[in-house]
Amino acid sequence: MSAAARGTPAPAPFAGFPARAQATAIPNVFFSDVLPRLADPAQVAVVLYAFVLLGAQRGTPRCITSDALARHAPLVEHLTRIATADGGRRCTGPADIATAIDAAVVAVVRAGVLLTLSVRAGDTSRELLFLNTPADRRAVESIHRGEISVGAPVEEPPSRPERRSIYVLYESLIGTLGPGMAEELAEAERLYPAQWLADAFREATAQNARSWRYITRILERWASEGRGDAKAHGDPADDSRYFAGKYGRILKQRLDR
């Protein structure tokens, strides 16, 4: 089915590169070592547009944020076309694309392509993204030493266990995450306790059922019938907070199927 048939206008043919066009420097190692590791098109797009935005900066440090990526119109248009391809998925709003960008950023940081540093200035905190290059690694170290002022680094408490986001759980069990799945995962994260999500993924792994549909059925069954440790973690079926909240109607609809 063509893009026009799906309701997405096809872009006009490219007119060709102009003379003396502005260029973005991308190391050859990206094509030999990085690109083969990025199976998800959204991750590839985020890295490429990170090169563009970072390459346009001058001075030190060169860094961007996920918000800057989410405001970059060519990246948003590209991810929207990915999301509407192959059947016309419904998740194409600004919030959906921003969620997809956040998920892709998490993945490429975990892959070692980008570096991340949380800083705070007054009551505002933000997460900075750097390329994993020697110069940018030195810049991050300088920020930690207070030699570069972009805000106070926010250090994670060493005793705090790492929380695996639903996006990480999904990619570790099922596979790469595309923009079309981002909203479904975000909705599940709003509906169910974090421990339930981790346990549902764990049960699916034990049953060798690597399917998001299987995992959602586990969660819906627990919410409807309860579970043995429901009192320890909080049982949505017995707790009116889960039905009184913003997404209570969605959860009730799922349980009534």
pLDDT at 201 over 80: yes
Instruction: State how far Cα 234 lies from the chain centre.
Output: 27
pLDDT at 242 over 80: no
Per the prediction, the chain carries an average pLDDT of: 77
Average pLDDT value for residue range 237-243: 44
Higher pLDDT, 20 or 10: 20
pLDDT at 114: 92
Task: Give the single-character DSSP code of 131.
Answer: E
pLDDT at 14: 85
Q: What is the pLDDT of residues 95-112, one digit of tens each?
A: 778 888 888 898 898 888
pLDDT at 225: 82
Q: Is 105 helix (H, G, I), strand (E, B) or coil?
A: helix
21 confidence band (pLDDT: 50, 70, 90): confident
Pairing mode, strands 124-131 and 152-153: unpaired
pLDDT at 255 over 70: no
Domain ranges of the chain: 28-153, 166-255
pLDDT at 131: 92
Question: In the numeric block, which tokens belong to residue 174?
Answer: 């099922």
Check if the beta carbon of residue 236 is closer than 8 Å to that of residue 251: yes
Check if the beta carbon of residue 106 is closer than 8 Å to that of residue 172: no
**Least confident residue range of 16-25, 28-37, 240-249:** 240-249
Q: Regarding the domain delimited by 28-153, which CATH topology (the fold level of the hierarchy) does it fall under?
A: Arc Repressor Mutant, subunit A (1.10.10)
pLDDT at 237: 43
Average pLDDT value for residue range 209-227: 85
What span, in angstroms and rounded, lies between the C-alpha atoms of 67 and 87? 28
pLDDT at 253: 54
pLDDT at 175 over 80: no
45 confidence band (pLDDT: 50, 70, 90): very high
pLDDT at 92: 59
User: C-alpha angle 48/52/53, rounded to 5°?
Assistant: 115
Predicted TM-score (pTM) above 0.85: no
pLDDT at 27 over 70: yes
Average pLDDT value for residue range 232-240: 42
pLDDT at 4: 46
The fraction of the chain above a pLDDT of 70, given in percent, is 75
Q: Which helix (H) or strand (E) holds 128?
A: strand 124-131
pLDDT at 20 over 80: yes
164 confidence band (pLDDT: 50, 70, 90): low
